[in-house]
Amino acid sequence: MKKRHANLLLLIALVVLPMALLGWQAWRLLTSESDVQQARYDQLVEARLQQVDLTIQRYLESLANDWQQRLPSWPLDPRGVRTRLADEIRVRHLFLLGPDNQRLFPADPLSSDEQAFVERLEAIWRDPSLLQGNRPASESDTVASRAPALSNVFRKSARETAGIAPESGWYMWHWGAGTRLIFWWKSPGGETIGLALEPARLKSDLIGILPEDDSADYSIRLRDAAGQEIYRWGSYELEPGEQYHQYPLSYPLSSWALEYAGTPPTAAAAGFGLLLLLASLGLVLIGLALYLYREQTRELREAARKVEFVGQVSHELKTPLTNIRMYAELLDEQLEDEPQQRNYLGIIISESQRLGRLIGNVLTFSRTPTLHLTEVDIDGLVRQTLDHFLPGFRARGLEVRTDLQAGISINSDADMLEQILNNLLSNVEKYASGGGTVEVATSVADGHLLVSVRDHGAGIPAAERRKIFEPFYRIDNSLTEGVSGTGIGLTIARQQAGRLGGELLVSDARPGARFTLKLPLDRGETP
């Protein structure tokens, strides 16, 4: 039974171990794959937002280019610029500064709207050089530096930063919660024109150039300096607690930002294939294990059937054998004066006894016997058992010496004890009759009952001492040659000793061997 469990465990291990190993490898592959995908995704997001930023930059650039071309032809006097203002659809206000930085427009009389504008830009009138100072703090603030491949759009501004005094540029200022942009241009004559963009129009134009994509994969928002959303596209719904990824815009709208959220990359596709592979591999392994397990259990079942058959046959042999013995013994009693016939009958009886023991062994081996506990007088049992063997021993010239010191009765199974002794004595008869003497002793020591059988035969080599208790094992040497045996005697003896709560030990006795049955007294001793 134990062996079957072990086999099952082995088979399970055969399946589980490679699966676990493969699974671990697959997991490692997947995590590294998802890292790669995450990096790729981040790059994609970055590129996408950069593209949007660039679109916005291009728009501002095109406005700047347009004004750079048209402004030189403007009449640079208050009346002239006022008429031009009416046509500038993106400009809410403008100002004109003379070469001495004197404000020429708006100048009195001011409309109420102009009055507010003039008040808000007080700082510029005091120090017009502020316009030029309001530039990106470093190159890192422009799209050009963020995406070197796209830098040609910004080559000009780069040249401007390298030069001394730029002739035009953006000026960013804040009024209330809003970002306001002024495009300024300095004429060769030294006048400065500043065009203040209509903030709502700027937002509207940006919305116009941004996509109206409805993809469910992401959501992008453009928000202004105050954090107010201006426009969004993509219909991805954020998970609760999920945050937008922030991406500030380039100068001059650097206080604005793009916000991104989207479906995170999943290794699902790759993972699914791998999972499928693992699952099919697992199935193959399980199938193989099941096949092996069935093959093995089939052999075991067959063996069990054979044992069962032998047991059955042995059982059937028991009744006729008992009859043979009984009638032989009856005959023996009646033939008092026929020494020759009685001699023959003695042989029949002892042989049938031997056969009975043999069958008893087979039955014990094939079927687990149940214990029948009774009061057993140990010394009496030993004597009684020895009596059966005496004719055989005598025939082989074996002298029996007994030293029965136990003198107690124990609560045990008499049949089993007898069977153990039978097997031990039968072995002595078969293999150690050359030693001339067999010593049988009983004693009580350390709370144990000891029954020992010692022969003076060839002994058992140390290497074999463990193996002799294995079923069907027979020592392969001159000793066993020509002697028939089943190889289960000692096995059964040891098993029976175990069932009785004791043990059967073998020790070297030089010459010969000593088998000692050791039974605990506390298990069933009666005084």
Contacts with another protein by CB under 8 A lie at 86-90, 92, 109-111, 113, 198-201, 203-205, 207-209, 212, 214, 228-233, 235
CB of 81 to another protein, least distance (A): 13
Closest CB to another protein among 97 and 206?
A: 206
Query: Which residues partner with 172 through β-bridges?
Result: 181
CB of 217 to another protein, least distance (A): 14
CB of 172 to another protein, least distance (A): 18
> From CA 160, how far away is CA 432, in angstroms rounded?
117
Closest CB to another protein among 118 and 274?
A: 118
Which of 81, 114, 82, 77 has its CA nearest to residue 98?
A: 77
Q: How far is CA 71 from the centre of its chain?
A: 73
CB of 257 to another protein, least distance (A): 15
Contacting residues for 519 by C-beta, under 8 A, at least 6 apart? 410, 412, 448, 449, 451, 497, 500, 501, 502
Contacting residues for 75 by C-beta, under 8 A, at least 6 apart? 81, 84
Closest CB to another protein among 220 and 376?
A: 220
CB of 387 closer than 8 Å to CB of 400: no
Contacting residues for 57 by C-beta, under 8 A, at least 6 apart? 143, 153, 154, 250
- Per DSSP bridges, beta strands 218-223 and 229-233 are antiparallel
Closest CB to another protein among 231 and 293?
A: 231
- Token pair recorded at residue 285: 């392994």
Tell me what percent of the chain is helix, strand and coil, each rounded to the nearest 5. 55, 20, 25
CB of 200 to another protein, least distance (A): 4
Token look-up 């294995």 returns 470
CB atoms within 10 A of CB 494: 22
CB of 255 to another protein, least distance (A): 16
- Cis peptide bond N-terminal to 106, omega within 30: yes
CB of 87 to another protein, least distance (A): 8
Closest CB to another protein among 220 and 381?
A: 220
Closest CB to another protein among 175 and 309?
A: 175
Closest CB to another protein among 104 and 310?
A: 104
CB of 93 to another protein, least distance (A): 12
Closest CB to another protein among 180 and 494?
A: 180
- Token pair recorded at residue 131: 């316009």
